[in-house]
Amino acid sequence: MNNNLKMNWVVWNELRRYLLLPFLRIYFLVKGIPWESDWRILGTPIIQKCRNSKIRFGSGLIMRSWVSSNPVAPYHPVFISTRIEAAEIRIGDNCGITGGSIIAAERIDIGDRVLIGGNCLITDTDFHPLDKSARFQDPKNITSKPVIIADDVFIGAQSILLKGTEIGAGSIIGAGSVVSGKIPPHVVAAGNPAVIIRKLD
């Protein structure tokens, strides 16, 4: 017997997932996101897609929004948001996301086989101007810079990736890290701010 089927909570989640499928297909259609038949969507994500912006999910996507869908226990459903018409979010093939938020005012590009741990925040914008007067006079005058995550990256739970972050292929970001800048390929980085801990073979 499949080990997963020995856990009652897995069986229950799969049953709920199948019952939710018809609604999810309509939900993604309304959002203008093409549905892939091999997706495993556990719980309805929150998708805020600005008109004319672009959101693309690759094949093999696993998205966990129910609290019971992962022992890490998402704080809230997966949240995907484009803030302006020119914004783009692209998530490659065979990626996994548990709770957390991905928010783009410019561009977030996530490669293939990227695993995003529970309750992470990935954003390419500051959301508000840094200058105190501008925050009230011109709150939409914000700074954004693309976030690029290469193939085979693992991002530990509750990490925060800020604007301008670039993570090289095969690297690991330790849980609870805050990343702002460039992380080279095939390293382990962790901390606030994240620094390289060691290289991977």
Please tell me the pTM assigned to this model.
0.90
Name the β-bridge partners of 102: 80, 122
pLDDT at residue 1 above 50? Answer: no
pLDDT at residue 104 above 90? Answer: yes
pLDDT at residue 2 above 60? Answer: no
Task: Give CA separation, 86 vs 66, 107, 162, in Å.
Answer: 30, 9, 19
**186 is annotated as an active-site residue:** no
Question: 132-160 pLDDT, tens per residue?
Answer: 666 666 556 678 999 999 999 999 999 99
Nearest-Å Rg of the Cα atoms of the chain is: 17
Question: 57-81 pLDDT, tens per residue?
Answer: 999 999 999 998 888 889 999 999 9
Indicate which residue of 16, 17, 90, 128 is catalytic.
128
Task: Tell me the CATH number at 132.
Answer: 2.160.10.10
With a pLDDT cut of 70, the percent of the chain lying above it is 91
Question: 13-23 pLDDT, tens per residue?
Answer: 889 999 999 99
The count of structural domains within the chain is: 1
> What is the distance between the alpha carbons of residues 142 and 172, in angstroms, rounded to a whole number?
29
> What is the distance between the alpha carbons of residues 50 and 86, in angstroms, rounded to a whole number?
9
Task: Supply the range of the domain harboring residue 23.
Answer: 3-199
Per the prediction, the chain carries an average pLDDT of: 91
